[in-house]
Structures are given as C-alpha cells and as structure tokens.
Structure 1
C-alpha cells in the first residue's frame, strides 16, 4: 500500500515555521501576501490560506484585517538534559506554563514500564497523564510512571500540587536526573491530534526518558508526545 504524500499546505506551513524558528522571520514581521506566497510555492491562494490558518491555530501568526498576516512568536525552545523541568523550561522561553490533567491512577505496569523502572511485573505503578501548555497553547501530551511502592502517597501529592518535582519532593525525593532519553518521530493519531489541536497525521516527536535518584535507581519513566511545529527540542549536557 503506497503511503500518502504530505499535503502541500503542510509543507508550506513547515517551511514558514522553520523560518520563524531560525529567526529569519521574527515577532512583529509581516508575512508576504497570499498572492506572493502562492507564487513562491507554486500553489493557489487557497492552499496558502490553509497553511496560514494552521499556523494561526499554532499561535505563530495572526491576521490583522486590512493589514496582512504577522508573526506572533516562534516554536518553544525545550531543552532536554540531565534535569528536565517543564515549568522551568517554558518560563525560560518567556512563556507561561500550565498543565491540564487527563488521568491520575494506580495500576499494573506494562512490560516496557516495568523494565524501565526495574520493578517486577506484578508491582504497582502510579500513572500521571496530561497536557503541557505554553501561553495556553497545548504543546505536548505526557505520561509519567512512578513505582507505587516507593512513593505510596504520590497521587495525593500530584493531586494537590500538579507538578512532578514538587510532588516527588513532598514524598521525600529532593532531586533526580535524567539517565536516558530516546527520541522518535511519529504521526499524530486521532486522540493525540484532538488533544494537541492539530491535524491527524501531523508530525509529532516522542520522547522516552528515565529519571533516577542519586544512587541511579529509576524513579520515573516518562513518555512525551510533542507537537512537531510548536516545539524545538534541544539536547543539552547540563549538570
């Protein structure tokens, strides 16, 4: 079965988004007109309009009636290093962080989760799922898995604080660091697209990571699906 090609409007969106990310277009800049972009990309104005509409949904551009389309911002820089802290990363990018909770539950681990956390298949884990937002725009879906035996009160702490670092600290873990990260490219399924407000089949980046305490014992196995057009991931070898 032949794979469907990327829609032309999506290629235009990606090209213009890269120019914003690279600083060729900056906040406040006016984009070329629809007619000029149609000539540049060899398409009709309707296709250009579709691409600009998707960028507006991502919060990258906005239209001013009678004036044109202007750059609002650029994809969020999101460093991934030994210490990955969502709120800290988003504030460092000059944006307001927020989370929307999707699930707090205790259950059996999947084989992959048990292996990552170095626990037995019959052990229990706490599962924390939600959406990460920057300036009220969803940029990622996350799922964090923790060993329930080590952190019996973690769900209550997460329910109260809604922040992993603060909740773990309340449960007795003062610090933790990333010991492994794996990045892969994916296409958004219907559920992911709905949560992230993107089109089904749009590019997303999946990050799998394991965080450990000072003794190297895993304390969290996390999977995050980032909207490909809203986030620039940077691998950083920090302390």
Structure 2
C-alpha cells in the first residue's frame, strides 16, 4: 500500500531525530526549503511537521521557526527542601529564571488560606519563567506576605533568590509543607510562554513553604511543561516517615 507523501516526510524527519542526526534544539529548514528537499508541496510539509509536533518531537514557535524538541525528561525531585537551581545543576542543566512581573495585590481566598493571613491582606505576586539550558520548563506565580517581607518584590525583580531574601529577614531554614500536583490542558498563553505544542498538557504544582516554627512564608502555583519534566517524590526527606519508610 502506497503511503501518503506527508507520511514519507514525517517518517524521514522522525528517523533523523531518533538517530541523533537532528539534535534537540536544532532549527529545521524553512517550509520552502523542506519542500525543495523532499520535492513535495507545502501541505505535505505542514502536515508532517504538525504530526511530529503532536508527538513531541518538534516544537513550532511562531516567528522563530521549528525546532527539534528535547527528548530527555528532566527528573525534578520534590522533597522538603526542593530547590530549583540544585535540582537542575545536579543533572547537568544550566538553570536560569526570567522575571515576568511583580505586583502587590490583596490576597485571594486560596492564598490567604494557604498563608494563614487575613483575606485581602497585601501579598507580593511574583511571576517568573524557569529555564533549563535556555529551554522554558515552567511558569511560576508565587505569593508572599508583604507584612513579613516588605522588600521581596523589588529584590526578586533584581534577581535576588528567595532563600537569600528569607535569610536577610531572619529565616535560616524553610521547608515545603505541602504539595499538590494535577494535570490539565494548557492555556494559549501558557503554551506560548513555554514554547510547547498547544495540544500538550501541563502539570500544575502548588506548594506552601514554612519556616522551622511552622510560619507560612510563601504559596506558589507553578505550571510545568508536561512533555519535558517528570516528578519524583523523596519520602526519605519527609520528617513524618518512620525508620521502615512508612508513614506512622
């Protein structure tokens, strides 16, 4: 049975990606160039590229081109002392963060409940995009009480880490008190900022950080690229896990 032209193009590109001939991050030739290489029309090239994007092998970025997607999943370990930078550097990635916005807003109900503050109390709302080797992997929105950290917004915008800001305010150590993970469809703006295919899902992780006395320091909601990251949870890092590795 004769295959359609677009399937031939798709299989050829997929073979080059799987064999390593086209490495992650490689920019594909333009659509007209691919048409010339394969001797096919634009429709066949577009359908082949679209199919590979849905499979997660290619990433189409409006205005920039089509790129080979990363195939190795980042194993992001979540424990009591999860730190973004340490998680990535330990796997050979270069971590970086991009500041997107800083505002002071009245705490929404869910934020006030998580931080144990009055509804409507002022909180810093910080939005950042996390990268691994310049590849976007998450969008994070963090909330911190203004009463505890009045200068946090400006310092985060200047690139100062949360850990350093906490330390300057007398917080010598802090822990992840709780974590919630669920998946959903990506919103269009999330897909754009994460540079992922609109049909790919995202994983949403919410967490609450507390100090050693149990005071809530921050609440965050992070949207992760579902085809680039997997999570592992370290039970040995949990203070409530007994010697046999089971929760009493």
Taking structure 1 as the reference length, what is the TM-score of the superposition?
0.72
Q: Deviations over 1:97-119 (max 9, x none)?
A: 01111111111011000000000
Give how far 1:48 is off. 5.7
Q: Tell me if the contact between 1:82 and 1:238 (Cα under 8 Å) persists in the aligned partners.
A: no
Q: Which structure: larger Rg?
A: 2
Matches within 5 A, 1:1-239: 29=20, 49-53=49-53, 54-57=56-59, 73-239=71-237
In structure 2, stretches of 5+ residues that fail to align are: 1-6, 23-43, 61-67, 238-248
**Pairs aligned (count):** 195
- In 2 relative to 1, CA 223–111 (structure 1 residues): closer, same or farther, beyond 3 Å? same
Which whole-Å CA distance do the structure 2 matches of 1:51 and 1:96 have between them? 30
Q: Tell me if the contact between 1:154 and 1:171 (Cα under 8 Å) persists in the aligned partners.
A: no
Partner of residue 37, structure 1: none
Give how far 1:56 is off. 3.8
Which whole-Å CA distance do the structure 1 matches of 2:46 and 2:158 have between them? 48
Which whole-Å CA distance do the structure 1 matches of 2:59 and 2:169 have between them? 39
Which whole-Å CA distance do the structure 2 matches of 1:72 and 1:112 have between them? 35
Which whole-Å CA distance do the structure 2 matches of 1:153 and 1:207 have between them? 26
Which whole-Å CA distance do the structure 2 matches of 1:196 and 1:171 have between them? 33
Q: Tell me if the contact between 1:153 and 1:171 (Cα under 8 Å) persists in the aligned partners.
A: no
Which whole-Å CA distance do the structure 2 matches of 1:181 and 1:72 have between them? 27
Q: Tell me if the contact between 1:208 and 1:221 (Cα under 8 Å) persists in the aligned partners.
A: yes
- In 2 relative to 1, CA 91–108 (structure 1 residues): closer, same or farther, beyond 3 Å? same
- In 2 relative to 1, CA 230–72 (structure 1 residues): closer, same or farther, beyond 3 Å? closer
Give how far 1:172 is off. 2.5
Root-mean-square deviation (CA), in Å? 2.9
Q: Tell me if the contact between 1:146 and 1:220 (Cα under 8 Å) persists in the aligned partners.
A: yes
Which whole-Å CA distance do the structure 2 matches of 1:50 and 1:232 have between them? 24
Which whole-Å CA distance do the structure 1 matches of 2:198 and 2:71 have between them? 24
Which whole-Å CA distance do the structure 2 matches of 1:30 and 1:221 have between them? 43
- In 2 relative to 1, CA 112–78 (structure 1 residues): closer, same or farther, beyond 3 Å? same
Q: Tell me if the contact between 2:99 and 2:157 (Cα under 8 Å) persists in the aligned partners.
A: no
